[in-house]
Amino acid sequence: MRTEDLLKSRSNNQCELCNAAGHLNVYDVPPAASNVTGREIYICDKCLAQVEKKEALDPAHWTCLTTAMWSEVVPVQVVAWRMLNRLRDESWAAEQIDMMYFDEETLAWAKATGDHEGDAAVDLHKDSNGAVLNNGDSVVLTKTLDVKGSSLKAAIGTVVKNIRLVPGNTEQIEGKIEGQTIVILTKYLRKQN
């Protein structure tokens, strides 16, 4: 039987963290090891985006962890522990963390990603107005830019389609202007709707 079919059956086709139905994903709880199976959980798009730090944390959404943390499924417990730690500034989350107990092996797995050491802050690529940018978006230049190493000038109002986010640097994106791929600072962009 396929992993997704097993997870659908185990979860009653609901998110194993918040119980949402519809648009569910198989999430392989990191760190993945080639010789270990059974580290997958079934979660909704909203949970996935926030677990993977692609969306800012919504503390109200995560109150579901007060139930999910008691799951008999160890990978669900691990993700619940990690998320509670990211939300530890919320009094309800700090209380829940104090109630959780893991054996040494499970605790080592839960700590392996270092998520428990960070805070709830998520670094996202944002345009000059604060709108979140995603790969594939179209943006408009808000300033005329000189392209270094080229005679090209990118004029204000130029539309750059199908952008690519620069990993590890939320202040830069890549896009093509007149067939040339360039790096553009997000502070000079406005997301096109």
Indicate the CATH number of 139-191 among 3.40.50.720, 1.10.10.10, 2.30.30.40, 3.40.710.10: 2.30.30.40
Q: Both tokens of residue 138?
A: 């179209």
Task: Yes or no: say if 160 and 184 are a contact pair by the CB < 8 Å rule.
Answer: yes
Residues 7-53: tens digit of each pLDDT: 999 999 999 999 999 899 999 999 875 556 789 999 999 999 999 88
Question: What stretch(es) of the chain map to CATH 2.30.30.40?
Answer: 139-191
Residue 175, classed as helix, strand or coil, is strand
What are the C-alpha distances in Å from 13 to residues 17, 21, 26, 135? Answer: 12, 7, 11, 29
User: Confidence class of residue 170 from pLDDT cuts 50, 70 and 90?
Assistant: confident
Residues 95-115: tens digit of each pLDDT: 999 999 999 999 999 998 887
